[in-house]
Structure 1
């Protein structure tokens, strides 16, 4: 169990230094600045969003690794197949992420418009 936690910790570190993570966080902060809303409270919310983004990435990796249906063994002689809870969890995390963006008044159309402007 301890080795598994160390492995996950290393994966989280790798996700947090990935180009995608950095680009998304910078873009969200940029949008707050454009709205003149880059105050500590909202910047903290961006950090919360990025934490959820990391969790989403971990859930996606779990689904890719174990599949939608995963085997289980409860140690009491029972084993079999069950749905991978990461699928449901990913949907919940995505919903929270969208709610947070909505609360910050950040729209996906803004993201697309900014990317077109940069080209």
Structure 2
């Protein structure tokens, strides 16, 4: 079921990015390719978040617990996504009013 939601959100993000390109009269195959790169990174970001939620922030290493490598990869992926948006002169969409809000998380949730 989560897969269906993810695809729907992915399609909405793609549509929004394409609409922003169109409104700014930005055209070209290389821009379309960058949108696809952004969406691929979005897929990766979702997988990294899922890994962190499944395995936690610490994983078993050769010499004991270590930081989950997905955390560092998530930061790098988010950074790259923002750079693509900047290269396209686009911005992240504002949150839709009808979408359910994420629960607020705190350090207390980690215990």
Query: Given the two structures, how large is their TM-score scaled by the length of structure 2?
Result: 0.76
Unaligned runs of 5+ in 2: 98-111
Larger radius of gyration: 1
**CA-atom RMSD in angstroms:** 2.4
Q: Is the 8 A contact 1:49 1:100 kept in 2?
A: yes
SS of match in other structure, 2:94: helix
Tell me which residue corresponds to 1:6: none
Structure 2 Cα separation of the partners of residues 16 and 46 of structure 1: 20
Tell me which residue corresponds to 1:18: 7
SS of match in other structure, 2:60: strand
Unaligned runs of 5+ in 1: 1-10, 73-77
Query: Given the two structures, how large is their TM-score scaled by the length of structure 1?
Result: 0.72
SS of match in other structure, 1:30: helix
Query: Following TM superposition, where does structure 1 have runs of at least 4 consecutive aligned residues deviating by more than 2 angstroms?
Result: 14-17
